[in-house]
């Protein structure tokens, strides 16, 4: 057999043994073993029999010969075998000293396939080789690659078009770009050589996606991307950390440089897809596994979407339970939009010139680190729980709908609230006590920073705003019980219902070093944590009315 014929035979055994296309490394390894005469196809099948993936699919050690033969027919040929077919292979298995054993049955059935069965298997092998060598080539999407491939030759093209449009045609070196056909819509640079990939060489006018399913071999510079092309990173591995110790530096030590863009739209879209959650001790949800560090030139606007790989169908977690990460190294980008269904950690390097970050269209939680930014930032929060570190230039932070943690910097920062739903309070019971999760602000500087309550809240005007009612100290760990007992007439100040009330609270260690600002949004004089605003200030025991702005 020629080398290419051996590849197809190995791909058939993959389809029979695992009901999927081969992964790139596996196809290359087993083909080399057979081509060099080290193994036969039957010995490859025997090796596959001992794999957990095979045993999970067929459970050969706990099935009868009839059940085993029937299961292979159903997975390999997508049909129920006839009684004659089952009888034939069972007799082969039960012949003492015969050529067919349970370990070699898949290889024997591959060689013995006839008619549409043989054609379907050949078609799946053709698709599998194309998937492994020229597209994604990863285990996680290998089953989907050959699903739907039958004896109909049209299904071969349909399957190849489906995964090449999603994962791209594999490009391994910068020179490969010049050889792409004119109908290519996506390219895949997984495990590509480091270097400069100049997309001005690409003749296709339809190229709209540059995908990385695995890290490149080193730093990669992507130049002259087509105006409408997106850069897509799919996380299928695990690495180190970013930012505040969240798992996710999947491209450890690598920088992706996107340069000489000069796009008509002046906007770049980067897609991040999480995979394989990392479980953290004492964490209520997993974090994703992909963080990209990218240097971006010559574009002012960037859109970063954070999602979960669609191949994780049936996973126990929701997309919001995953977190991707993006570290931006750029002095040209001014405006950032964060979107998607999964969480996102966004961070900038020294010299960043970001003017605005809009996270209003992301469903997961958002962690944004802007300390290194050299411009004041207009930040719009997400509907989830944000973790926002301001720049030191004086930011405007518009709180979103979750219990946010906002760490202020050296400049004059302004935190804006438009609705009572911006500050939810949750009481979470742990084995060692109650934990209160609420809106939190740290490093607030009296006389410098401001809290803004907008007219959208319809707060009572006049005398009600003239002072802040000072309340007795509240034990933060028993806050729920305190509010239940003392919430009625909470804002009553000798007959005048104040809009604002302040109470010193304990910190998580029991020290009376924090404070809470309460806002009577509905104007009834009572404190209701669902309808009113509650904001916790770290290391503050007094609050000045001059630091509040009503607009």
Q: Which is higher by pLDDT, 539 or 244?
A: 539
Strand partners, 347: 327, 369
Question: Which domain-ending residue is among 340, 372, 398?
Answer: 398
Residue 138 lies in a domain: yes
CA–CA separation, 266 and 303 (whole Å): 11
Q: Are residues 39 and 174 in the same domain?
A: no
**Domain range enclosing 536:** 399-551
Residues 233 and 217: their CA atoms lie apart, in Å, by 15
Span 398-413, pLDDT tens digits: 988 888 999 999 999 9
Which residues have CB under 8 Å from 63's CB, separation 6+?
A: 71
Q: Which of 398, 426, 456 is the last residue of a domain?
A: 398
Judgement on whether residues 450 and 466 belong to the same structural domain of the protein: yes
Residue range 384-392: average pLDDT?
Answer: 92
Q: Considering the chain, what is the average pLDDT of its residues?
A: 84
367 plus 469 within the same structural domain: no
Residue 167 and residue 211: Cα distance in Å, rounded? 6
Residues 391, 447 share a domain: no
Distance, in Å, from the CA atom of 288 to the CA atom of 271, rounded to the nearest integer, reads 14
- pLDDT, position 484: 85
Residue whose C-alpha is closest to residue 171's, from 142, 202, 146, 128: 202
Q: What DSSP element (H or E) covers 220?
A: strand 220-223
Which tens digits make up the pLDDT trace of 485-516? 888 999 999 999 999 999 998 766 667 789 99
* 523's tokens: 């104007």
Q: How far apart are CA 46 and CA 43, in angstroms?
A: 5
Q: What is the pLDDT of residue 91?
A: 94
How far is it, in rounded angstroms, from Cα 36 to Cα 39? 8
Residue 98 and residue 538: Cα distance in Å, rounded?
78
Q: Are 29 and 110 found together in one domain?
A: yes
pLDDT of residue 15: 95
Angle of helix 41-49 relative to helix 105-112, nearest 10 degrees, comes to 130
Q: Are residues 101 and 217 in the same domain?
A: no
Bridge partners, residue 550, by sequence: 453
Pair 181, 207 in one domain? yes
Give residue 504's pLDDT.
Answer: 93
Q: Tell me whether residue 160 is in a domain.
A: no
**Of 426, 455, 434, the residue nearest 530 (C-alpha):** 426
Decide if pLDDT at 261 tops 70. Answer: no
d(CA 263, CA 312): 34
pLDDT tens across 321-360, in order?
A: 677 778 888 888 999 999 988 888 888 989 999 999 999 9
Contacts of 2 (CB under 8 A, 6+ apart): none
The residue among 67 and 221 whose pLDDT is bigger is: 67
Looking at residue 58, what DSSP letter applies?
Answer: H
| Claim to verify: residue 391 and residue 423 sit in the same structural domain | no
- Report if residue 176 sits inside a domain: yes
Q: Residue 424 in contact with residue 431, Cβ under 8 Å?
A: no
**Has residue 114 been placed in a domain?**
yes
CB-neighbour burial class of residue 401 (10 A; exposed 0-12, middle 13-18, buried 19+) = middle
pLDDT exceeds cutoff 80 at 432:
no
pLDDT in the model for residue 498: 95
Q: Is residue 490 part of a domain?
A: yes
Question: At residue 517, does pLDDT exceed 80?
Answer: yes
Burial (0-12, 13-18, 19+ Cβ within 10 Å), 530: exposed
Whether residue 79 sits in one domain with residue 226: no
Predicted confidence band of residue 248 (pLDDT cuts 50, 70, 90): very low
Sign of the alpha-carbon dihedral angle for 120, 123, 127, 129: positive
Paired residues of 521 in beta bridges: none
**Nearest Cα to 181, choosing from 159, 201, 210, 160?**
201
Total number of domains in the chain: 3
Residues in a beta bridge with 362? 340
Q: Which of 154, 181, 206 is the C-terminal boundary of a domain? A: 154
The neighbour count for residue 61, using CB atoms within 10 Å, is 8
Chain centroid offset of residue 404 CA:
20
Q: Answer whether residue 260 shows pLDDT above 80.
A: no
Query: Is position 242 within any domain?
Result: yes
Angstrom CA distances, 230 to 78, 261, 267, stand at 37, 12, 10
In a shared domain, residues 388 and 457:
no
Q: What is the pLDDT of residue 263?
A: 53
Average of per-residue pLDDT across 77-104? 91
Helix (H) or strand (E) holding 9: helix 3-18
CATH of the domain at 76: 1.10.3130
Specify if 218 maps to a domain.
Answer: yes
User: Which H helix or E strand runs over 233?
Assistant: strand 230-234
Q: Could you tell me where the DSSP H helices lie in 298-375?
A: none
In this structure, the number of other CB atoms found within 10 A of the CB of residue 422 comes to 22
Element spanning 398, H or E: strand 396-398
Same domain, 178 and 293: yes
Contact present, 328 and 336 (Cβ < 8 Å): yes
Asked if residue 163 is part of any domain, the answer here is no
Q: Which of 83-87, 175-179, 287-291 has the highest mean pLDDT?
A: 83-87
Same domain for 386 and 437: no
Length of the chain: 551
């Amino acid at each position: 057999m020629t080398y290419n014929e051996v590849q197809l035979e190995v791909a058939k055994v993959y389809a029979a043994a695992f009901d999927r296309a081969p992964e790139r490394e596996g196809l290359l390894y087993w083909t080399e073993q057979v081509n060099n005469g080290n193994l036969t196809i039957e010995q490859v099948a025997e090796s596959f029999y001992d794999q957990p993936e095979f045993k999970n699919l067929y459970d050969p050690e706990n099935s009868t010969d009839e059940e085993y033969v029937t299961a292979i027919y159903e997975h390999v040929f997508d049909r129920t075998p006839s009684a004659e077919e089952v009888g034939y292979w069972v007799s082969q298995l039960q012949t003492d000293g015969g050529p067919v054993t349970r370990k070699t049955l898949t290889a024997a059935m591959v060689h013995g396939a006839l008619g549409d069965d043989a054609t379907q298997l050949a078609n799946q092998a053709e698709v599998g080789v194309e998937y492994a060598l020229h597209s994604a080539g990863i285990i996680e999407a290998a089953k989907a690659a050959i699903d739907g491939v039958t004896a109909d030759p049209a299904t071969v093209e349909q399957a190849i078009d489906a995964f090449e449009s999603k994962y791209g045609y594999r490009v391994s070196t910068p020179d490969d770009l010049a050889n792409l056909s004119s109908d290519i819509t996506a390219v895949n640079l997984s495990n590509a050589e480091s270097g400069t990939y100049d997309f001005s060489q690409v003749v296709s006018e339809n190229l709209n996606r540059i995908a990385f399913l695995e890290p490149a071999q080193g730093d990669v510079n992507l130049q002259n991307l087509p105006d409408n092309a997106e850069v897509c990173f799919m996380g299928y591995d695990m690495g180190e950390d970013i930012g505040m110790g969240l798992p996710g530096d999947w491209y450890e030590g690598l920088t992706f440089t996107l340069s000489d863009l000069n796009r008509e739209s002046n906007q770049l879209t980067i897609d991040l897809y999480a995979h394989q959650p990392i479980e953290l001790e004492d964490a209520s949800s997993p974090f994703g596994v992909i963080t990209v560090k990218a240097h971006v030139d010559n574009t002012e606007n960037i859109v970063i979407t954070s999602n979960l790989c669609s191949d994780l169908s049936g996973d126990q977690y929701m997309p919001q339970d995953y977190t991707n990460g993006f570290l931006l190294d750029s002095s040209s980008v001014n405006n950032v939009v964060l979107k998607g269904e999964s969480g996102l950690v966004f961070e900038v390097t020294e010299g960043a010139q970001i003017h605005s970050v809009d996270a209003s269209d992301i469903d997961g939680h958002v962690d944004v680190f802007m300390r290194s930014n050299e411009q004041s930032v207009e930040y719009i929060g997400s509907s989830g729980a944000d973790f926002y570190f301001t720049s030191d230039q004086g930011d405007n932070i518009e709180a979103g709908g979750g219990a946010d943690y906002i760490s202020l910097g050296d400049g004059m920062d302004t935190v804006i609230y438009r609705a009572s739903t911006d500050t939810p309070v949750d009481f979470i019971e742990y084995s060692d006590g109650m934990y209160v999760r609420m809106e939190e602000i740290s490093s607030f500087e009296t006389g410098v920073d401001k809290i803004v309550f907008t007219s959208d809240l319809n707060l009572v005007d006049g005398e009600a705003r003239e002072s802040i009612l000072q309340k007795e100290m509240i034990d933060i760990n028993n806050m729920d019980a305190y509010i239940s007992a003392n919430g009625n007439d909470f804002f009553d100040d000798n007959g005048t219902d104040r809009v604002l009330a302040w109470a010193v609270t304990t910190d998580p260690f029991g020290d009376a070093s924090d404070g809470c600002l309460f806002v009577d949004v509905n104007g009834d004089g009572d404190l209701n944590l669902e309808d009113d605003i509650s904001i916790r200030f770290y290391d503050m025991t007094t609050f000045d009315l001059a630091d509040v702005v009503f607009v």
